Amino acid sequence: MTDTPLPLISRPAVGRRLAGSLVVKILAVVVLSALLVSRDADWVMHPTLWAEDGVIWFQNAYTKGLRVLVMPSAGYINLFPYAMALAARALPLGWLPGWMMAGGFVAQVAPAVLLLLRGAPLVPSLWARGALAVFYLGVPNSYEIHLNLTNAQWHLMLLSFLMLVLPAPQGWGWRALQYGVLLVSGLTGPFCLFLAPAALWQWLGAAPDQRRHAFIQAAVIGATALIQVLCLLTLGAGERQSLVLGASAARLARMLTDQVFLSGVLGTANVGVLKQGALWQQPAMAWGIALAGLSIIALALVKGPSSFRKFCLAGLILLACALVSPAGSPVGDQWALLGMLGYGGRYFVIPILIFFIACLILACKAPAKFRIPACALLCVFMVGVWADWLYPTRSGTFEAYHQAVEAFDNAPPGTQISFPEASPGWNMVLTKH
């Protein structure tokens, strides 16, 4: 069964001709890149290391070499960040933050570029694809996954999903590149496990001329998922801590309301102001908003294309795993922490995207009684994008890092130097060879 594209008011043939122009492609990449940079230009101009970028990826690559490619972190193989870290060993240490940031940049902008330039079979309207791409680049509550290598895996999952559901690219060279991206993405974190059911679904429902391509993609995702499971059960056994979840239905409703539905529509800055009012603290308010948001998604599942259902399946598996085994603070009830506005924002980016796409589907495919409210809600989404567009400056350790680099360069072998990171409390420590 072939997928049904999302029909919007558009001129698909014109959109395809524009997307096929080399000049337009280059312009699209430049514009999307500029939008991404504009959210935190200071981070691009003065990059510093973020979380595992230094402490795990480069520190291990510097001391252990090629072994890191098969060494688990948090229970999983992480090929992409370790490959970037290994390549960085050939660069001056002062270039390291920029190199790691560049890896995160490419991973983050790639889904938007692919959607805009090759997404016509799914969304014929060039303007609609542009709106989706811009919303993805400006999605609220996404500070954690912005332009850092550590969280590039979230963007690689989105890139892989688009590759799975789009028709095969023309030419074996492009197809081989796509299979390679799926392989690297699958061996970077656990996300291939979330995509595997969607990949199988895509293969089983593929058109005859796409079946071989869909099978190869499903085989790559399935193989990497098997490798990651075996790694988790053997090499990575015991790496993840046993945490107190503190799960409850009320906390789930509050979490979905604050972190997904309200933050996605209004932005975390505005939601923080709303939560100061007594009305927004009422459990009934959380339940009402959560049920309304879930109802919108449920209706879109019925009205929308199968690609949306596959995306929802992958997102549901991801969110369920995050709620069962979050990688968060070692102390405290995890669900209480995840209910705190902005905490663990990486877990909610894909649910926010699902909610936005659901509203877009209803705006163009639902009966009029649903279409008008969906269009209004899409307009309100822009409030959240605007409110959360600019990120707080986080490059305060730029000078301190380069002072540490100078000390490291002038130190004799065997000297241990600590390099500060932008993440509070994180410091990369290297012993000079």
Given a cut of 70, whether residue 185 has pLDDT beyond it is yes
Q: Which two tokens stand for residue 398?
A: 């730029």
pLDDT score recorded for residue 240: 61
Give the integer Cα–Cα distance in Å for 309 and 300: 9
Are the C-beta atoms of residues 282 and 371 closer than 8 Å to each other? no
Going by pLDDT thresholds of 50, 70 and 90, the confidence category of residue 186 is very high
Going by pLDDT thresholds of 50, 70 and 90, the confidence category of residue 30 is very high
CA distances from 18 to 126, 164, 175 (A): 9, 24, 22
Domain boundaries, the chain: 12-191+396-433, 241-391
pLDDT score recorded for residue 125: 84
3-class secondary structure for 193-229? HHHHHHHHHHHHCCCHHHHHHHHHHHHHHHHHHHHHH
Going by pLDDT thresholds of 50, 70 and 90, the confidence category of residue 10 is very low
Segment among 135-149, 243-257, 319-333 with least mean pLDDT: 319-333
Ramachandran quadrant class, 189 (left: phi over 0; alpha: psi -120 to 50; beta: rest):
left
What's at 283, amino acid-wise? P
pLDDT score recorded for residue 263: 95
pLDDT tens for 337-362 read 888 888 889 999 999 999 999 999 99
Q: Which two tokens stand for residue 345?
A: 């924002």
The runs of H, that is alpha helices, within 282-397 are 283-303, 306-324, 334-338, 349-365, 368-388
Given a cut of 60, whether residue 11 has pLDDT beyond it is no
pLDDT tens for 212-228 read 999 999 999 999 999 99
pLDDT tens for 74-130 read 889 999 999 999 999 999 999 999 999 999 999 999 999 999 999 989 988 888 899
